[in-house]
Every structure is written in structure tokens, then in C-alpha cells.
Structure 1
Amino acid sequence: MESPSPQTQQQPKRAAVIGSNMAMAESTGDLAEMEADELPIKTATTATASSKGVQVNGVNGIYGGLDGEKERPNGKEDGARNSEANGSGLTQRKPKEASTLKAKDNDYPPLYDDDDLERRRLDRLNTYRAAGIQFAPWNIPYRRRMQTVAVLIHCLSIASTVSFFFFLCAIPIFWPLIIPYLLHMLLSKNATDGRLRMRSERWRRLPVWKLFGEYFPAKLHKTHDLPPTRKYIFGYHPHGIISHGAFAAFATEALGFAEKFPGITNSLLTLDSNFRIPLYRDYILAFGIQSVSKESITNMLTKGGPNNEGMGRAVTIVVGGARESLEAQPGVMNLVLADRKGFVKMAIRTGADLVPVLAFGENDLYDQLSPKTHPWLHKAQMWVLRTLKFTLPFLHGRGIFNYDVGLMPYRRRLNIVVGRPIMVAQKRDGEIENEEVDRLHREYVGELEKMWERYKDVFAAGRRGEMNILK
């Protein structure tokens, strides 16, 4: 019998090496074609070493490379960056043991993230990099350009409306109109009376807001039915830097709120000071946005509806507020909620059911300086918050024509999950007991924890930690 030649012996090994290299090249090629500020949520690649019969699993999290290697989404060291205590990007964490809190399958149905990478491909060969900044190529599809314009319009809404107002003030012919307008702005109750006179469904359904939702992209997930015979207080978590997800889901029809929850009129709430900004107040009133004051919430949930008692109405409160915006870091979920019980009291006072809302990806839209690495800056921000009732996050995102510098949010997925409603019995102020407030608050936090445990591996696969409830 003839012994096999050396070339014949090397053929199986060479075939195994080629097969392994092709599997690795295929997985890394997908990441190399993505935008620098787009983070894949879940991508799994399996390569089989034929020569040894060993299976090697490489899982790509937010920044996870093959076989657990740390890798940027664009395959380069200076791609999309996420802030951390030491200034580095997110890294793929090893799976942790399951938490003691388990969410039952019958409590929350399974939800899936649309891993639509084909629509978000980018020709990496045409990108231009200068001074460490990666610029967008010119051959991006027209619709993606329009998505950027839609987000830019909303981001510049305050600056553009105020600038236009002062431009009108410089023209004497408009003075007879400006003075009555300012008096109307100071005396108007449109933001607190709950009548929603300036709310425009046509404005909320404009195609530009559909483009706004597609930019990230954002998606609204329904887990339970909400009957229109009740009234609701939606608690939105986390605040993030600017709460783009809350705007897309509850101030517009970009994500299809009316189709998912028919018969419910929902209004996003914001600070009363926003209604003292000329022209900008009219811009947000057209969305049906109202003041977050007690008077406004009471009027919204006790008036209107089929029986003029507020049935079928809802308000959305970003519970964490400006304080929580300072905790917004990519890959983390820190909620300022432990001492926030005012919204629970308002629910008892108005008889509105509590609906927890968890927005996966809201904290990933911007980078900001970490309070751990800049404690003196954090103290200054807290002083401004206590004194002036607003805060100034030191943030950055992407630009209009680049992926690294600017105030535009990153193109990162937003998955907004609406949880199970918690029924609340209406009581008057003198009948509200602290024990009942604490019980409802604990139940509300428990629902948020169930939602986190149920969907964290679907929508937050590349997280840097678990959800934390802060004071």
C-alpha cells in the first residue's frame, strides 16, 4: 500500500483553516460596513475548527469582537465612542448569573429587536478621516439624509424659534403684534388647563416625525392592553440627556401610539418654563405637550373624555427629571426613583393607573463626562440644579456630516417597552396614606425590574451593568 504524499496529508488541514478564516471574515465584514455610531445589539458567529473537532463561539455585543476580543463597531480604534469612568468604550461583558428576581413568561410576552443591518450598511471605502474625525460619505441614501434633517429640526427648535422671534423684534412693523403676543404668552393657561386646544393631530402625524423615529431607529413595544375606559400616568425611564424616545413615542405618532393603544389621548409633560419661551411654546403645544405642574396633571386627568372625567386620557412623566440626566451613561441604567413618589400621589389623587415605561437605548444616544472621573464638575452641576432647577450636562454626540463630534444624537436603537398597568383607587388628599403610597411605589419599581429582567438580554445585550435604583 502506498503511503499518502505530503501534499495529500496537508489538504484537510488547509481546508479547515480556509473554512475558519472565511467564517471569521464574514462576521467581521458585517461590522466593518456599519456606521461608526451604530451599535449592533445581538450578532452571533460560530466557527467550527474541523481539524480538531472543537467549536468556537464568538459573540458580538455592543463592542464585543470574535471570541470575546474587544472591538469597535467600525473595526477601528477611533470609531463610535462611549463614555465610561476611565474614558474607554463599552466592552462585551461575560454573562452573569441570573438575578434572584425572575420575570415570568406570562407576565410579559417575548419581544424581538429588528436586526435590520442591511438598511444601515455604509460604504467604508468612501469615508474620509481628518484630525481623528470620521466624515460621512457622500453616497448615503437620500432617506437617511432626510432622517438627519428631521432630527436636526427638533434639536434646533429652541434656538431657531428664539432667533426668529428676535429677528421679528428688530422690524418695527411687527411691534404691534409682538406686544399682545408677549402678554398672551405670560397670561395663557393653554399649558395647564387640560383642554388641549392647540393640539393638532395633523401636526403630530407629519412625515417629518416618521423620519425622526427612523433615524435611531426607535420602536414602541406593547406588552399589555390598556382599556380606554381608564386613565393613566405613564412613567418614562430613563430620562437620558434629552429624552428623544419620549418625544418620538408620546408627542408624535411616529411610532404608532394611537394604533397600539386606541382610544387613549396621551400628552407628554415638560417643565413649565418651556412655555415661557416665545414661539417655542407654540411649537410644543401643537404636539399636545403640557406642563408637568400639579394643576396641569389634575386638569388633564379629571376633565375631558366621553364623560368629562378624564377617562381615556393619559400623561407621560419623565420621572427622573434633570437629576437623572446627569446619570446618563452609555451601557448603564441608573434610575433616580427611590425618593420620587409625587407621581404616585398624583395617581391616587386622580384615580389614574400607573404604567411603567422602560426605554432601552435612551442613555446610549450621547456621551457625557462621567461624575466618577470629574467629581468637582458633578458637584457644580448639582449646585446649579438645586439653585436654578435645571442642569447643564457636558455632552457630545455626532455631527451632521461626521460621526464623532457634534450635538446630534448617535444612530443607536431605541426600544421603548410599555409595561403592565397598575390599578390605582382614587382618594382625596386627606384620605391618602403614606403606607399606600409606599406600597404602590414598591409595586411600580417591581414592574420595572421585571421588565428589565425580561428584556435586558434582547435590547441591552452589551450593557455594562444591571439596573440600579438611586435616590
Structure 2
Amino acid sequence: MSTPLVPVVPLSPAEDGAKSPVDHAPAPTPSPESSSPRSPLVALKHDKPLSRSSSLLELLHLKDVHIPTPPPVKFAPLVVPRHRRLQTAVVATWSVMIPICLTVFYGSLFFSKWLRPLAVIYAVWFIVVDRAWRHKGGRRKDWVRRSAFWRYFADYYPITTVKEADLPADRKYVFAYHPHGIISMGAACTFATEATGFSSLFPGVTCHLLTLDANFWIPLYRDILMGMGLASVSKRSCRSILKMGRSICIVIGGASESLYAYPGTNNLTLKKRLGFIKIAIREGANLVPVYGFGENDIYELLPNEKGTMTYKFQKWFQGTFGFTVPFFHGRGVFTYNYGLMPHRRPVTVVVGAPIPVKQIEKPTDEEVQAVHNQYIEALQALWDKHKDEYAKDRKSELKLVA
């Protein structure tokens, strides 16, 4: 199966460690054991009587440690233009679409005697029968992709699409999108909707955005995704769509790359990603590098350096379930710096020129690596050409981290 950058308010040290009044009782005579190291709890027992005003930091000998406090809440103004309210409402709705779909389905299944039969039939159908997301590229509906809902969604950031070259309609393509970001909003808007005018920019090219299989096991939500033209990112699904003469878009970095999605950075997981290259060669599809400038800026990623418990948990979760859970925050409906909605920051999706690929049914490792190197060079050239226009506030250059 997504305004200029707003500087993040730095955390300031807390002023919690104010000294407490000290008892005027004489200090106890030190014992021979007092010179040996003691735990804080032992120190509390023997050092001095505790006053009621003693703070926890002082009691634990941590009164000099400064605990950072979060920045104050920035509330949105009460009076905003109607179109901006609609944009916020649309993005907020999509942010909780999975809970909405689950509530409707399970509410019908367990709490409505009239809707329960329909819910049971639907559950059997999508669990046992329906496999359109694996073999047919979903159930793409033009009216779903052209809905006004997605226009408000794209205008919220805003998300725009820029093309570098025409794409002949008699060819099929593998669009490779970078970076993954937290949820790949730029890829979703560009390739799964008509909000940024994909069909007008590339007439005759039918493209399916690909996502994890897990999304198609969520009742009702799966049908929305398939109506947008989303399909499985499995090898079988990729080849099936390309054999139909259509194109696919793959967000190359996947779950691993979302762990590096800090605002202003451009770290890509690409060095060992060869699957999309092999598919393009075997099906004779041209490769198209795509970069979403600003994709990493719409959320704030919490620190997760290697070696920390957060990083270890995320890697374990990824190895167990096939996807990861980056810890992030954005803004809220009524606040600008707390919540799970994305920030209003522009995302510019630049679609590069196609790279011709010769069809080979069984390519060698050397042939795959050669095309991979050619692709990296094209992606680097795309970045260098547009970075000063669309990534003015970047903190780092394009970097392959894995």
C-alpha cells in the first residue's frame, strides 16, 4: 500500500532538582563501613533522617541530573479557512481508517443480528475465496482513485508530482520509490490516486502501487486499497501484473528504511535490494527511479540508535512479523506538535527518466549487479539535479546505509 519545514522546538532542561530544606539535626557519626560503596537505598537508611520535603531525585542522589521536559503544546488557531478544515478532516479520517473498518466489521458481526449474516458471508469470502490482490492487481476503480477525498488529502501537505521525461504507453515499467518514510504518503498519492494527475502526466500507463500482504487481511480496509489499485508486493503478484502489460510501483526501502526516516535526512536501504532489478530484467520492464523529496519530513521519528532497546525491539519485531513499528509522532487535529497526524510539509515526487532494460529470463548475478549499479547512478543524478530546489533544508545528502 502519502509549507516549509517547521523547526522542531529544542528540549530544555527541567528545573525539577531544586534543593530541599535540610534537617538541622547533627549528622550521625560515620561508621567503619561508611567508606565502602553503598547502594542509594542503604544510603537512605543510614545517612540522615528524611524530611517530608525531600524530593525523589535528592533521595536517590540524582538531584543534579536534568530530565528534559517536552516543549509546550502549540494549539492551532480557532479560525481557519474552510478548505483547510476539510483537508485536516480528510487526513485525520485516513489516519484512523483501519480502526474505523475494524469497528464496523466486528460491530456488525457481534452486535447486529441484522448485519451478522452479511458479515459472516463477507468474512468467508475474503478469507477463503478472494485473491484479487495476489493475482489480478486488486480491483482498480477509477471513481475511487478520482474521489475528491484524495484531492483534499494531497492538498493538505501539499503533495505534487514532477516528471522528467515522457513514458511511452507501449512499455511497462517498474517504478522504484524512495524514501520509504514512515508511511510513504507521496507514493500513495502519486501512484494509488489521481490527486496529483498521474494519468494526465503519463497517459496510457496503468500503474499499481504494491504493499504488504498483511494489509489485505484487514476487513473493508482491504477493499478500499484494492479499489485504489493496490496489490501484493510478492514476486508472484509483481510478475502477474507485468505480464498483463501494466506497471508496478515498489517502495524499495521497506520496513527497514522507516527506522532511518529522520526529518532532513536521506538515508536509503538499497545496496542489497536486488529483487526489483531481477523482476524488471525477467519481464523486460524499464526501471524508473522516483524520489519523494520531503517524505521523511512529515513525521518526527523518535531516537532509536543501534544498540538501544528501542532498536533491538524494532529489529526483533521486523524479523518476527515482516514489518517494523517505528516510534514517531506528528501533529494533532487541534495541536501543531503532538499527535499522530502528519505535519503540513510539502512532498514533491520527482519521476525520473526510464532506464531501458533488456529482457533476460535467467539473468546472471553479474548482469543483475550491472543493472543495479546503473540504477543507483540514475537515482544519484536525479537527487543531484533537484536537491537544491526541493530539499533546501536538508541535513544530509543522499546516502546508502544498507
Mark yes or no: TM-score above 0.5.
yes
Matched letter for residue 81 of structure 1: V
Q: 2:96 aligns with which of 156, 162, 169?
A: 156
Which residue of structure 2 lines up, in the alignment, with residue 468 of structure 1?
399
1:353 equivalent in structure 2: 286
> In the TM superposition, what is the alpha-carbon distance from 1:299 to its structure 2 partner?
0.9
SS at match of 2:115: helix
Aligned residues: 342
Larger Rg: 2
Instruction: Supply the distance in 1 between the matched residues of 2:350 and 2:137 (Cα, whole angstroms).
Output: 28
Q: Measure the CA separation in 2 of the matches of 1:386 and 1:457.
A: 37
2:198 to 231, 235, 257: 257
Please tell me whether residue 409 in structure 1 is matched to residue 342 in structure 2: yes
| SS in structure 2 of the partner of residue 326 of structure 1 | helix
Change (3 A) 1:141 1:456: same
Residue 175 (structure 1) shift? 2.5
Alignment-mate amino acid for residue 82 of structure 2 = Y
Name the counterpart of 1:277. 218
Match of 2:149 in 1: 208
| Equivalent in the alignment of 1:389 | 322
Give yes or no for contact 1:297–1:315 (8 Å, CA) kept in 2. yes
1:422 positional shift: 0.9
The structure-2 alpha-carbon separation of the partners of 1:366 and 1:469, relative to structure 1 and needing over 3 Å to count, comes to same
Alpha-carbon distance between aligned partners in 1 of 2:118 and 2:9, rounded to the nearest angstrom: 47
Separation (CA, whole Å) in 1 of partners of 2:189 and 2:223: 18
Deviations 1:207-265 (A, max 9, x none): 11111111001110000110011000100000000111111111000000000000001
Rate the CA distance shift 1:87–1:167 in 2: closer, same or farther, 3 A. Answer: farther
| Structure 2 letter corresponding to 1:264 | V
1:359 shift after superposition: 0.5
Aligned to 1:362: 295
Residues 82 and 161 of structure 1, relative CA distance in 2, 3 Å threshold:
farther
User: 1:423 corresponds to which residue?
Assistant: 356
What amino acid sits opposite 1:336 in the alignment? T
Partner of 1:184: 125
Identity of counterpart residues, as a percentage? Answer: 42
Deviates more, 1:162-171 or 1:366-375: 366-375
Runs of 5+ consecutive residues of structure 2 not aligned to the other structure: 14-69
Report the TM-score, using the length of structure 2 for normalisation: 0.82
How far has the Cα of 1:157 moved from its partner?
1.3
Compute the displacement of 1:376 (Å). Answer: 2.2
Q: Offset of 1:180 from its aligned partner?
A: 2.1
1:431-464: CA deviations, max 9, x gaps? 2111110011111111111011111111111111
Shift of 1:189: 1.4
Aligned 8 A contact 1:82 1:367 in 2: no
| Aligned counterparts of 1:149 and 1:351: Cα–Cα separation in 2 | 43
TM-score, normalization by structure 1: 0.70
Aligned CA RMSD, in angstroms, stands at 1.9
Q: Secondary structure at the match of 1:172?
A: coil
Alignment of 1:81-160 (within 5 A): 81=8, 132-160=72-100
- Distance across 2 between alignment mates of 1:360 and 1:131: 27
1:152 to partner: Cα distance: 1.4
User: Relative to structure 1, is the Cα distance of residues 246 and 87 closer, same or farther in structure 2, using a 3 angstrom cutoff?
Assistant: farther
**Cα distance, 1:416 vs structure 2:** 0.4
Counterpart in 1 of 2:374? 443
Deviations 1:307-362 (A, max 9, x none): xxx1xx21110010011001100000000000000010111121111100000000
Query: Can you give the 5+ residue segments of structure 1 that lack an aligned partner in the other structure?
Result: 1-37, 40-61, 63-72, 74-79, 89-129, 304-309
Q: Structure 1: which amino acid aligns with 2:77?
A: P
Counterpart amino acid of 1:353? N
Question: Which 4+ stretches in 1 moved above 3 angstroms?
Answer: none
Deviation at 1:391, TM superposition (A): 1.0
Contact 1:82–1:330 (Cα < 8 Å) also in 2? no
Letter in 1 for 2:273: R
Deviation readout 1:148-198 (Å, 9 max, x if unpaired): 1111122111111011111101212222222221121123111011264x2
Pairing partner for 1:299 from 225, 240, 247: 240
Deviates more, 1:140-149 or 1:169-178: 169-178
One-letter amino acid of the structure 2 residue matched with residue 399 of structure 1 = G
> In structure 2, how many angstroms separate the alpha carbons of the residues matched to 1:299 and 1:221?
28
Write out aligned runs for 1:198-347 (5 A).
198-303=139-244, 310=245, 313-347=246-280
2: CA distance between counterparts of 1:318 and 1:368? 19
Q: How does 1:60-71 map to 2 (within 5 A)?
A: none
Question: Residue 82 and residue 366 in structure 1: after superposition, are their counterparts in 2 closer, same or farther (change >3 A)?
Answer: farther
What is the distance in 1 between the residues matched to 2:12 and 2:226? 39
